[in-house]
Structure 1
Amino acid sequence: MNVGNEYLNIVVERFKSVKSLGDKTISQLSEKDIHWAYNNESNSVAIIVKHLSGNMISRWTDFLTSDGEKNDRNRDDEFLDDLSSKTELLIVWEKGWKELLDTLTSLSEEDLLKKVTIRGEGHLVIDAIERQMAHYAYHVGQIVYIGKQLKNDDWNSLSIPKGKSEKYLEQMLKKHQDK
């Protein structure tokens, strides 16, 4: 087994899983919902999406050959809630994820122990990947949390619904016994 390539396959699937949580949450939100923020210090879903996409484009463009903090990135602008619609939000969302996933799928096992820089600091590729996984999961978790707060009783669960753990476990065990 080629461990490095297996790792890359697994991490791509993990990023896709995190993206799916965001996709399923955003699909439940209205135009108004994407701009809701608890208070002035909180970020709306629209702002979180802009930030994630800006980070992804900066980090993953020319990943192996240039600093992950690109000169043309204006991080402060990512925190302005100026997306005009949910359609625009989805375009921004998909653009960032495309850059990330295209770059990850282009990496090889030999790339994992190469050094990349982020804000001038050196990181092994594998560390840079893990760093971004933690960052993106953190922010997608915020999106999910906001979605759950806004939708309340209309929320469609993204995982095992409350009170259904035992039934889910039985289904999973049966599924794996049948294989």
Structure 2
Amino acid sequence: MNDNDISEKMRSEMVKNAHYRMDESSRMISICLDQIGEKEVWARPNNISNSVGNLILHLCGNIRQYAIASLGQTQDTRDRDSEFSAREGLNKKELFAKLRDTVEEAKSVMENTPVSELIRPREVQGFSFSGIGIITHVVEHYSYHTGQIAFWTKQLKNADLGFYDGVDLNVKNSDT
């Protein structure tokens, strides 16, 4: 196997795993949205915290800015302040559709990003990242806010969200 084949295999594996993690976050957010009411989607635990609706808008803005605009080399049109200032707006179904569409577009960009763009540095939001750094940021940022959404949903409902119902999480690692 030559270096180009190895690089392409590594690119493909990284993208596949990023997609898996993003799909897991989407799955968990969907479960949370199913548990809360329309009014609760815009409820805030206090004046300095964000609602589930704000967090979903924020995720869409961040994923669009990093993955779609920067990695995909399109115009950055993000209005970050509006993500946090909203107090109402889209309903649960509309919010999840916006998130799902944003994530799918970002995954498409990742899938079509050549190795040369994964190692090229660029400026995003005042920070310098390679394409690999952008993908890493998008995945970890999505996961971070998914955890906040899950925590707030648990606070609202005082219930286990069942993210891994039917899965034995005590299975030991194996060499495969």
What interval of TM-score do these two structures reach, taking the shorter chain for normalisation? 0.7 to 0.9
1:22 aligns with 2:29: yes
8 Å contact from structure 1 (residues 67, 118) kept in 2: no
Aligned residue in 1 for 2:3? none
- 1:86 is displaced (CA, Å) by 1.7
Q: Counterpart amino acid of 2:88? A: D
Matched position secondary structure for 2:123: strand
Q: Counterpart amino acid of 1:106? A: N
Matched position secondary structure for 2:168: helix
Structure 1: runs of 5 or more not aligned? 162-166
Matches within 5 A, 1:100-179: 100-153=106-159, 155-159=160-164, 168=168, 172=171
Matched position secondary structure for 1:168: coil
- 1:55 is displaced (CA, Å) by 1.4
Aligned residue in 2 for 1:164? none
Structure 2: runs of 5 or more not aligned? 1-5
Q: Counterpart amino acid of 2:100? A: E
1:46 aligns with 2:53: yes
With structure 2 as the length reference, what TM-score do the two structures score?
0.80
Aligned residue in 1 for 2:67? 60
- 1:67 is displaced (CA, Å) by 8.0
CA distance in 2 between counterparts of 1:55 and 1:62 reads 10
**Percentage identity across paired residues of the two chains:** 25
Relative distance call for 1:169 and 1:15 in structure 2 (3 A) is closer
Q: Counterpart amino acid of 2:68? A: T
Aligned residue in 2 for 1:76? 81
CA deviation string 1:1-37 (max 9, x = no partner): 6222212212221221122111221122211221121
Aligned residue in 1 for 2:99? 93
Matched position secondary structure for 1:122: strand
8 Å contact from structure 2 (residues 26, 100) kept in 1: no
Matched position secondary structure for 1:61: helix
CA distance in 1 between counterparts of 2:94 and 2:72 reads 30
CA distance in 2 between counterparts of 1:94 and 1:75 reads 19
CA deviation string 1:92-124 (max 9, x = no partner): 222321222121122233432122320344311
- 1:145 is displaced (CA, Å) by 0.6
8 Å contact from structure 2 (residues 28, 150) kept in 1: yes
Matched position secondary structure for 1:14: helix
CA distance in 1 between counterparts of 2:125 and 2:162 reads 38
With structure 1 as the length reference, what TM-score do the two structures score?
0.79
